[in-house]
Each structure stands twice: as structure tokens, then as C-alpha cells.
Structure 1
């Protein structure tokens, strides 16, 4: 790796560390926070669904911002938007606000995250390519996931402990402070390298052009399309499981106010992310195709969720949670590398944002559906149902595999991202 590429990687890891730390302060206690505000299980997961609906609504427009105005601009807008909407969440909790207000602010939270999704990853891939990096992306993205896991480990544990020592609102204020600090860091370090934003005096025309090109390279590109169509089922279930495990583990533990236990659940997921990021390039070298990793990951995840649906022992649930998180985490860098090797640089941020949109759209439907199942049948049954939904992703991944794209069979350099299907 060249000196320029190492510098790009350091900046990427710094941004990943700060962003994940800020976000993770509330990840271990978010569902408990909503329930403490007086929402039912259905309303709490409906509020989360409005958050993912906000991501669905704004993913492509903010992806166009990243491609048309710059990935740096998108990142800076994200820090400000997410800090402001997080503070509004804190105010709603203090006021015991009605559900409709939670729905509105949840949409704004979704808007904040969409400025990040796609933009940072696109910035990294293009900057590394410009700096002469020719290796597989799994290794760099895996390091990013490891750093993200460490930040999540620290943030989620700290958030749970701080909430138990003070109250459930303090971690939200900590998130606001760190996000504002990240605005300053990104303003000083982040530059669009290897990519020139296509600013235009006709923004509507430019938006249409970028969006049209991104659809051409995304949904109209069969191997990419099928990976995207699998996302609503795998991502939608993953979002629900992460947040449902907080009250579920407290229920098994027997103390509804042991917020540090909820933080422990998020910390286990974080630790699995670290190990999964380290394992991803190694697992990739053991199999012939990237889709093999993705298909096996979905099947094993579904089996573990079914097992979680039957266990009533706290420590057994923790072990299953750790295995579920590890398998999911090891597949994420492989999926990211697979997609990036099939996407052209000019539309990279928008296509990646559209992929995130597809995952979020699953969360809009799956979260309230499984939340209602938790109200009626209990958390264990809702997790088992989630496992069945996860399996729906497998046929789409198999369809992507059948396209025989070169990105599936090798750690191709990002410079070959426009290559078409190759023979087996």
C-alpha cells in the first residue's frame, strides 16, 4: 500500500471511529428509551420504522448530493442533521411527547444517516483507487468494520452504564457532542480525492441524470439488482433483531432496569464486528465465490434466530447472539467488496445509497410486523419469525451468483468495476 493510500485509510478509519462512537452511545438503550417514554412495543418499533422510512425517502437524494456536490459536503451535512435530530429526540423524551412527534423526528434521524450511507464508502474506494491501491477491498473494509466494532463496544457499554448511573437521556446528549466534534474533524481532514463533483447550474437536470445513470448501473445490472433485492429481508430482520434483543435479554435476565445488560448485548455485537472484520478477508480466501459467503451467512443467521426463539436461558441467548453477530459481520465486508467491484465510480455513492434504501425499505415493513408479533406472541416467537423472513433473501443471492460476474470469483481491483459477466 502506498503512503497516499495509507493516509486515505487513516482518515477513513478516523471518521468511522468517531461516527460509530457517537451513534453507539444509544444503541444499547434505544428501545428501552422509547418504552420509558410511554410507547408500546408496537409504537417503539413503529418509531424505528419511521426512522428507516426516512432513510428510504432520502437515500437517493442524499446520494445525489454526494455524487453531485461532493462526499465531504454530504458527510458534514450528516453530522449537523443527526446532531440536531438526536437532540430533538431527547426533548421528546423529557416532554413524554405523543407518538406522531416521535414519528416526525425519527424521519429526520433517518435523513441524517442517509448523508453518511454510500458517501464515506464511495469516498474511500475512489480515493484509494486514485492513490494507486490495487488490492482487494475486503481487507480495508474489514479494518473499517473492526474499528467500527471497537467504537461500538466502547460506546454501547458506556451508554448502558451511563444510563444506569444517570438516566436514559444522557447518552443522547453525548451523541450530540461527539457528532459536533466530528464535524470539526471532517472539515479539517476530509477532501474529495480521485473524484470531481459534477456541480451544475441546473440541479434538477443534474439530479435526474445522476439518478438515471445510477439505476442503469444498479437495478438494471442483474448481479447488482439481485443483491439489492435480497437486502430488504436480511437488513430488515437484522435491524429488528438488534433492537429487540435489548428488552428480550432484560426479560431473560429478570431485571427490567439493568440497562448495563442491554449495553452488554450491543457490546457483544460490537466485539463480533471486530472479529468478523478480521475474518472477512480470510474467509474470502477459503471459498471460490463471494456469494458463497453471503448465502451461507443468511442460512446460518436464520437457523440461529430460530434457536433464539426457543431458548429461555440468559447465557445461552448471549452465546447465540454472539454467533449470530459474528456470522453477519463476517459477511458484510464481502458484500461491500462484491458490490463496489460492480459499480462505476461516477455513480458509486448514489448506487450504494440506493442499496441502503433497499435494506431500509425492509425495515419499514419488518420492524412493526415483528414488533406486533412480540406484543402478541412474545419476543422469542418474533425472533423465530424473523429467521423465516431472513431465508427469503437466499433465492435472490443465488440469482446473483448465476450471473457469473467476475467480481464474484476473485478479489478484483476496483479499476475493473465496469467489467461484465465472465464465464465460470
Structure 2
């Protein structure tokens, strides 16, 4: 990796570090925060569903921003939008706001995240290509996963400890502060390299163009389409599982106000994410095809959820959570590299945003369904159902495998992806 590529990677990792740290302050206590505000399980996960609905609504329009105004502008807009909507969450918690207001602000949170989705990865890949870096993507994405995991580890533990020492609202204020700092850092360091802005068109016409390109290079591209169609099942279940485990582990622990335990649960997932990011390129070397790794990861994740649903031992549940998190994390960089290798540079941010839209669409449906299941039959039953839903992704991954594209077997001597463009998540719910 040359000096310019190393600098680009450092900036990318800095952005991931700040973003994940800010988000993770609340990841360990988010569901508890919503329940403390007076929402039921159904309402809490419906609020999460409105967040993902916001992502569905705004993914394509914000793709216009990333592909016309630039990835840097998109990132800056995301930090400001998230800071403002997070502060509104804090205010609503203070006044015990009605559910409709949680729905509205959750949609705004979704808007904030859509400015990030696709744009940051596209910025990295285009910038690396512009400076002659061609040694692959899995290693870089794996390092990003490790940095994100480390930030999540520290942020989620700190958020849980601070919430227990003060109240559930303070971590949200901490998040606002870090987001404002990241705005300043990105304004200083980020520059769009290897990307030429498109002329600004009428917003509706530009949105139509972006949607058309997303369909052309995404849904009409068979191997990409099948991966995208698997996303609603894996992403929807992953988001629900991460947030449902907060109250479920407290239930197993026997103390509903042990917020530090909820933070510990998020920290375990974060540690697993670090390990998973480190393992990703190594796991890739074990298989001739990337889709083999993705299929095995999906089946393993579903089985782990089933076992989590039947265990009643807190410590066993923690171990299962760690393994589940590692499997989920290790498959992420492989999937990212697989998609990036099948998408042309000009449409990269657009198609990646559309892929994120597909995952969010699954979250809109899966979260309230499983949340209602938790209300009626408890968290164990909802986790069992989640495992069954996740298995529905497997046939689509086999569909992508059957296309026999070069990206499925692309690798270099180090086990990283070799970009051959043929035509390119903390799980997160309300933050």
C-alpha cells in the first residue's frame, strides 16, 4: 500500500471510529431507553421500524446527494441530521412524548443514516483506486470492522456505565457531542478523490435517474440482485436480535435496572466484531467462493439464535451472543467485497445505498413482527422465529452463487479481494 492509500485508509478508519463511538453510546441501552419512556415492546420495535422505514424512504434521494454533490457533502449532512434528531430523542424521553412523535423523529434518524450508507464505502473504494491501490478490499474492510468493533466496545460499556451512574438520557447527549466533533474532522480531512461530480439535475428527475441506475446495476444484475434479496432477512433479524438481547439478558440476569449488563452485552458483540473483522480475510482463504462463506455464516447465525431462544442460563447466553456476533461480523467484509467487485465506480454509492435500502425494508417488517411476538410469547420465542426468518436468505445466496461471476472467486495471494469490476450493518436500529 502506497503512502496516499495509507492516508486514505487512515481517514476512512477515523470516520468509522468516530461514527461508531457516537452511535454505540446508546446501543447497550436503546431498548431500555424506549421502554423507560413508556413504550411497550411493540411500540419500541415499531419505533425502530419507523427508523428503518426512514432509511427506505430516503436511501435513493440521499444517493442523489452522494452522486451529485459528492460523498463528503453527504457525510457532513449525515452528522448534522443525526446530531439534531438524537437530541430530539433526548427531549422526548424527558417529556414522555406520545408514540407518534417517536415515529416521526425515528424517520429523521433514518434520514441521517442514509447520508452515510453507501457514500462512505464508495468514497473509500474510489479514492483507493484513484491512487493506484489494487491489492483488494477484504483486508481494508476487515480493518474497518475491527476499528468499529473497538469503538463499539468502548462506547457501549461507557454508555451503560454512564446510564447507570446518571440516567438513560445522558448517553444520548454524549452521542450528540461526538457527532459534532466528527463534522469538524470530516470537513477538514475528507476530499472526494477518484470521483467526478455529476451536474445537478431537477431533484425528481435526479432521483428517478438514480433509482433507474440502482435497478440497472443492482436488481437487473443477477448476482447482485440475489445478494440484495437476501438482505431483508439477514439485516432485519440482525437488527432485532441486537436490541432484543438487551432486555432479554437483563431478564436472565434477574435485575431489570442493571444497565451496565446491557452495556456489557453490546460490548461483547463489539469484541466479537473486532475478532470477526480480523478473521474475515482468513476465513475467506478457507473457501474457494465467497458465497460459500456467506451461506455457512447465515445458517450458523440462524442456529445460534435458535439455541439462544431455548437457553435460560445467563452465562451460556453471553457465550452464544459472542459467537453470534463473531459470525455476523466475519461475514460482513466478505459480503462488502463481493458486492463492490460487481458494481461500476460511477454507480457504486447508488447501488450500495439501494442494498442498504433492501436491508432496511426487511427491518421495517421484521422488527415489529418479532417485537409483537416478544409481547405475546416472550423474547425466547421471538429469537426462535428470528432464526427461521434468517434461513429464508439462504436460497437467494445460492441464487447468486449459481451465476458464477468472477467476484465470487476473486482473491489475491494474501487472501484479499482483487477488484474486477464487471458491470461493490451494529446492526443498527434507532441509532
Question: TM-score, normalised to structure 1's length?
Answer: 0.97
Please say if 1:253 is aligned against 2:258: no
Equivalent position of 1:342 in the other structure: 342
More displaced stretch, 232-241 vs 58-67? 58-67
Corresponding residue of 1:422: none
Deviates more, 1:207-216 or 1:237-246: 207-216
Do residues 272 (structure 1) and 272 (structure 2) align? yes
8 Å Cα contact 1:164-1:260 kept in structure 2: yes
Q: 1:414 aligns with which of 375, 394, 419?
A: 419
Q: Deviations over 1:14-59 (max 9, x none)?
A: 0000000001100000000000000001110000010111011111
Q: Does 1:120 align with 2:120?
A: yes
User: Contact 1:146–1:274 at 8 Å: present in 2 too?
Assistant: yes
Q: CA deviation at 1:415?
A: 4.9
Checking the alignment, whether the CA contact within 8 Å between 1:134 and 1:413 is kept in structure 2 is yes
Deviations 1:245-287 (A, max 9, x none): 0000000000000000000010011001100000000110111
Counterpart CA distance in 1 for 2:423 and 2:364 is 32
Q: Which residue does 2:234 correspond to in 1?
A: 234
Report what 1:315 is aligned to. 315
CA contact (8 A) 2:138 2:334 kept: yes
Quote the residue 1:25 is aligned against. 25
For 2:372, the equivalent position in structure 1 comes to 372
Residue-by-residue CA offset, 1:162-187 (whole Å, 9 max, x unaligned): 00000000000000000000000000
Deviation at 1:200, TM superposition (A): 2.2
Unmatched 5+ residue regions in structure 1? Answer: 420-424
Distance 1:182 1:273 in 2: 22
Residues 313-364 of structure 1: CA deviation (Å, up to 9, x unaligned):
0000000000001011000000000000000111110100000000011110
The residue matched to 1:336 in structure 2 has which SS? helix
Task: Give the structure 1 partner of residue 89 of structure 2.
Answer: 89
Structure 2 equivalent of residue 67 of structure 1 = 67
Shift in Å at residue 199 of structure 1? 2.5
Matched, 1:218 2:218: yes
Q: Take 1:56 and 1:22, find their aligned partners in 2: how far apart are those partners? A: 23
Aligned residues: 419
Match of 1:37 in 2: 37
Which residue is equivalent to 2:428? none
2-structure distance, mates of 1:199, 1:69: 9
Residues 156 and 266 in structure 1, CA contact (< 8 A), matched pair in contact too: yes
Deviation at 1:410, TM superposition (A): 1.5
Tell me whether 157-166 or 208-217 shows the greater mean CA deviation.
208-217
1:143 has 2:120 as partner: no
In structure 2, what is the Cα distance between the partners aligned to 1:211 and 1:129?
25
Unaligned runs of 5+ in 2: 412-416, 425-431
Contact 1:52 / 1:361 at 8 angstroms: preserved in 2? yes
Q: Is the 8 A contact 1:47 1:103 kept in 2?
A: yes
Give, in angstroms, the shift of residue 207 of structure 1.
3.2
- Check 1:206–1:375 CA distance in 2 against 1; reply closer, same or farther (3 A cut): closer
2:170 & 2:97 partners in 1: Cα distance? 18
Cα separation, partners in 2 of 1:247 and 1:135, compared to 1, 3 Å: same
Q: Distance in 2 between matches of 1:238 and 1:305?
A: 10
Q: Within the alignment, does 1:286 sit opposite 2:286 as a pair?
A: yes
In the aligned structure 2, how far is the partner of 1:207 from the partner of 1:44?
A: 32
Taking structure 2 as the reference length, the TM-score comes to 0.96
Match of 1:395 in 2: 395
- Contact 1:229 1:358 (8 Å CA) reproduced: yes
In the alignment, which residue of structure 1 is the partner of 2:414? Answer: none
Q: Quote the residue 1:326 is aligned against.
A: 326
How far residue 11 of structure 1 moved from its aligned partner, in angstroms, is: 0.3
